[in-house]
């Protein structure tokens, strides 16, 4: 496999890596950048636990060849955490809300859930419950159930709105 | 194995030409990337010619590289090609819709690809260009070579755009689908319909159902039945019966029984056609 230089932006910082462009973005993030918050689940775009934002849109990083991210912006769960830290918190309000609402059980789906919710709230700061359900419809959770996750996202939307206002 | 990102159509065609068939066009990649082993790839997703939705001599010109998310959210497609917007909204999951393109949905040639089913009902034409630079036009329904196999040769040509007649006065379309779950679920059956009415009489109709054959399938008998008719309660029951009678379906352990699929074919064909007629009537009144 021929390696090539891939330049992109990751969590707000410029990155340059010499890698096989047909490697998945998921594996690029985990093996080359040690960003292991993004999880590998089904490896075929069905579970959503590998969700990251590519140019602001939620995508399954397991389905994105690394060559595709050339010149693009990638945001991972680590970037979301850092966004919270920059505001003096331990984590992002969305993550805090997941903890408070009991939306985390085994935690394996959580990074993907948070990323899908983050993408939603960025475009739509006060979503309806239906819109939350649609936004996380590409993310499977097999333990906590979706109710708490939906509540956590709605609660986070409220907190984030209050802070802005 | 290599991965080349083409910045322009010219560059993409040049790569196809030089590689002489030993390369594969990739757009969103949500289907192609799962195929192993991967061939050399040329990424066309940022080629301007395959992007955007515009009008071209009275037709809607929809880029093959338009994602399902873009198509579903497009005000023009929502109002003038409803079936396509409805179909794109139901594909995979938000993540898949954000990457996957409607061109890819067709070229991947899955028998019940939602967007492709809607495009067939809308009578869409595909615009293609090959490595030598010569272009051709073909009806979407004629581009299926077999099960998961397209006449679009991804190693030597690029699907550029779809041309769809916008639904104007007396015209309407609709898409229906039944699947075990709301998201991330292949349809047991899907259906799309298009009608054109003149003085309340159906003068043009296309009803499509899938998966019953390797390609989205026109319900020819059902179309004949309603052509020239004034749509009313009496024909809907006949539509349901005729639709289910003119296809042959199989049951599968994974999806559903044969009986249930026959039932769904009838019901969804009727609902899609009825909805398309309702929309056409609404447009007539305006």
What CATH number corresponds to the domain at position A51?
3.10.20.30
Q: What is the pLDDT of residues A60-104, one digit of tens each?
A: 999 999 999 999 999 999 999 999 999 999 999 999 999 999 999
Q: B153 and B107 in contact (C-beta within 8 Å)?
A: no
Farthest CA pair distance, chain B:
60
**Does the N-terminal peptide bond of residue B59 adopt cis geometry, omega within 30 degrees of 0?**
no
Which of A76, A99, A134 delimits the end of a domain?
A76
Strand B59-63 and strand B157-164: pairing? antiparallel
Boundary residue ending a domain (A76, A104, A137): A76
> Looking at beta carbons, which residues of chain B come within 8 Å of A140?
184
Task: Examine the domain organization and report whether A82 and A114 are in the same domain.
Answer: yes
CB contact under 8 A, A48 and B69: no
Residue of A nearest to B30 (CA): A63
Residue pair B204/B229 in contact by the 8 Å Cβ criterion: no
Domain that holds residue A91: 78-164
Question: In the CATH hierarchy, which fold is given to the domain comprising B3-43+51-164?
Answer: 3.30.465
Same domain, A89 and A117: yes
How many domains is chain A built from?
2
Q: Does A45 sit within 8 Å of B92, measured CB to CB?
A: yes
B183 touches chain A (CB under 8 A): yes
CB contact under 8 A, B3 and A4: yes
Q: How many helices (H) and strands (E) does chain B have?
A: 10, 14
Cβ–Cβ contact B43 with A under 8 A: yes
Contact by Cβ (8 Å): B171, B277: no
**What is the spatial distance between Cα A19 and Cα A28, in angstroms, rounded to a whole number?**
8
Indicate whether A86 and A154 sit together in one domain.
Answer: yes
A-chain residues near B3 (CB < 8 A): 4, 21-22, 65-68
Token pair of A145, please?
């159930």
Whether residue A164 is predicted with pLDDT greater than 80 in this model: the reply is no
Q: Does B7 touch chain A (CB under 8 A)?
A: no
Residues A72 and A91 in one domain: no
At residue A165 the predicted structure's pLDDT band, cuts being 50, 70 and 90, is low
> For the segment A135-154, what is each residue's pLDDT rounded down to a tens digit?
999 999 998 789 999 999 99
Residue B40's closest chain A neighbor by CA? A22
Looking at the structure, do residues A70 and A107 belong to the same domain, yes or no?
no
CATH class of the domain comprising B171-285: alpha beta
Asked if residue A83 and residue A69 are part of one domain, the reply reads no
**Model pTM score:** 0.96
Contact state of A70 with B93 under an 8 Å Cβ cutoff: no
Enter the tokens of residue A124: 């739509």
Domain ranges of chain B: 3-43+51-164, 171-285
Give the Å distances, CA to CA, from B11 to A5, A158, B7, B17, B158: 19, 48, 7, 10, 12
Sequence-distant contacts of B58-61: CB under 8 A, at least 24 apart: B58/B165, B58/B166, B59/B163, B59/B164, B59/B165, B59/B166, B60/B163, B60/B164, B60/B165, B60/B166, B61/B161, B61/B162, B61/B163
Note the pLDDT of residue A117: 98
Tens digit of each residue's pLDDT (9 = 90 or more) over B13-44: 999 999 999 999 999 999 999 998 889 999 99
Residue of A21, A51, A58 lying closest to B3 (CB–CB)? A21
In Å, how far are A77, B29, B183 from A58, measured between CA atoms? Answer: 12, 15, 15
pLDDT at B261: 96
Are A57 and A92 members of one domain? no
Q: State the ipTM, two decimals.
A: 0.96
A64 interaction partners in chain B (CB closer than 8 Å):
29, 33, 99
Give yes or no: residues A153 and A82 share one domain.
Answer: yes
Q: A105 and A148 share a domain?
A: yes
| B34, B94, B184: residue with CB nearest A58 | B94
The reported pLDDT for the residue numbered B182 is: 87
| A153: three-class secondary structure by DSSP | helix
B88 to B81, B84, B100, B188, B266: CA distances (angstroms): 11, 6, 10, 17, 22
In terms of CA atoms, which chain A residue is nearest residue B45? A68
Q: Are residues A16 and A61 in the same domain?
A: yes
Report the alpha-carbon distance of residue A14 to residue B260 in Å, rounded.
Answer: 54
A133: domain CATH number is 1.10.150.120
- Is A22 buried (19+), middle (13-18) or exposed (0-12) by CB count in 10 A? buried
- B38 part of contact set with chain A, CB < 8 Å: yes
From B38, B43, B98, residue closest to A57, measured CB to CB: B98
Residues A97 and A145 both lie in one domain: yes
Write down the pLDDT at residue A162: 87
| pLDDT digits 0-9 by tens, A20-61 | 999 999 999 999 999 999 999 999 999 999 999 999 999 999
Best mutation target among B88, B94, B98 (most A Cβ atoms within 10 Å) is B94
pLDDT band at A2 (very low <50, low <70, confident <90, very high): confident
Question: Is pLDDT of A1 > 70?
Answer: no
- Per the document, the length of chain A is 165
Q: Do A64 and A103 have their domain in common?
A: no
Choose the closest CB to B99 out of A21, A46, A63. A63
Domain end: A76, A109, A138, which one? A76
Does B99 contact A48 at a Cβ distance shorter than 8 Å?
no
CB contact under 8 A, B96 and A67: no
Q: Which residue of B has its CA nearest to A70?
A: B5
Tell me how far apart the alpha carbons of residues A140 and A51 are, in angstroms, rounded to a whole number: 11
Residue B69 to residue A57, Cβ atoms within 8 A = yes
Residues A11, A74 contacting (CB under 8 angstroms): yes
| pLDDT by 10s per residue, chain B, length 286 | 789 999 999 999 999 999 999 999 999 999 999 998 889 999 999 999 999 999 999 999 999 999 999 999 999 999 999 999 999 999 999 999 999 999 999 999 999 999 999 999 999 999 999 999 999 999 999 999 999 999 999 999 999 999 999 999 999 999 999 999 989 999 999 999 999 999 999 999 999 999 999 999 999 999 999 999 999 888 999 999 999 999 999 998 888 999 999 999 999 999 999 999 999 999 986 5
Contacts across the A-B interface (CB distance below 8 Å): 87
């Amino acid at each position: 496999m021929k390696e090539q230089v891939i330049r992109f932006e990751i969590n707000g910082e410029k990155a340059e890596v010499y890698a096989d462009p047909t490697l998945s973005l998921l594996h690029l993030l985990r093996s080359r950048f040690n960003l292991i918050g993004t999880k590998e689940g089904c490896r075929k775009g069905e579970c959503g636990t590998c969700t990251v934002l590519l140019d602001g849109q939620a995508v399954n990083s397991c389905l994105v060849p690394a060559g595709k991210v050339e010149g693009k912006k990638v945001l991972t769960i680590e970037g979301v955490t850092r966004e919270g830290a920059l505001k003096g918190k331990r984590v992002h309000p969305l993550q805090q809300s997941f903890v408070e609402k009991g939306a985390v059980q085994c935690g394996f789906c959580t990074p993907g859930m948070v990323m899908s919710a983050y993408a939603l709230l960025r475009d739509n700061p006060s979503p309806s419950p239906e819109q939350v359900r649609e936004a996380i419809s590409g993310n499977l959770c097999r333990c906590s159930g979706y109710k708490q996750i939906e509540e956590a996202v709605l609660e986070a939307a409220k907190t984030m709105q209050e802070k802005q206002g | 194995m290599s991965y080349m990102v083409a910045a322009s159509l010219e560059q993409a065609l040049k790569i196809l030409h030089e590689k002489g068939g030993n390369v594969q066009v990739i757009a969103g990649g949500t289907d192609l990337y799962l195929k192993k082993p991967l061939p050399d790839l040329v990424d066309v997703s940022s080629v301007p010619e395959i992007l955007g939705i515009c009008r071209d001599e009275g037709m809607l010109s929809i880029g093959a590289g338009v994602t399902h998310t873009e198509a579903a959210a497009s005000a023009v497609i929502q109002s003038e090609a409803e079936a396509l917007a409805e179909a794109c909204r139901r594909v995979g999951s938000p993540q898949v819709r954000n990457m996957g393109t409607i061109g890819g949905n067709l070229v991947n040639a899955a028998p019940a690809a939602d967007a492709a089913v809607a495009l067939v009902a809308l009578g869409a034409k595909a615009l293609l260009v090959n490595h030598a630079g010569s272009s051709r036009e073909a009806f979407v329904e004629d581009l299926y070579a077999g099960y998961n196999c397209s006449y679009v040769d991804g190693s030597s040509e690029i699907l550029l755009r779809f041309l769809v007649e916008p639904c104007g006065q007396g015209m309407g379309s609709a898409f229906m689908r039944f699947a075990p779950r709301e998201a991330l679920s292949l349809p047991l059956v899907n259906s799309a319909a298009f009608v054109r009415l003149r003085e309340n009489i159906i003068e043009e109709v296309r009803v499509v159902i899938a998966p019953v054959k390797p390609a989205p399938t026109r319900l020819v008998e059902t179309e004949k039945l309603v052509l020239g008719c004034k749509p009313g309660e009496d024909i809907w029951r006949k539509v349901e019966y005729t639709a289910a009678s003119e296809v042959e379906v199989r049951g599968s352990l994974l999806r559903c029984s044969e009986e249930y699929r026959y039932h769904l074919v009838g019901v969804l064909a009727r609902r899609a056609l009825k909805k398309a007629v309702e929309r056409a009537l609404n447009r007539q009144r305006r």
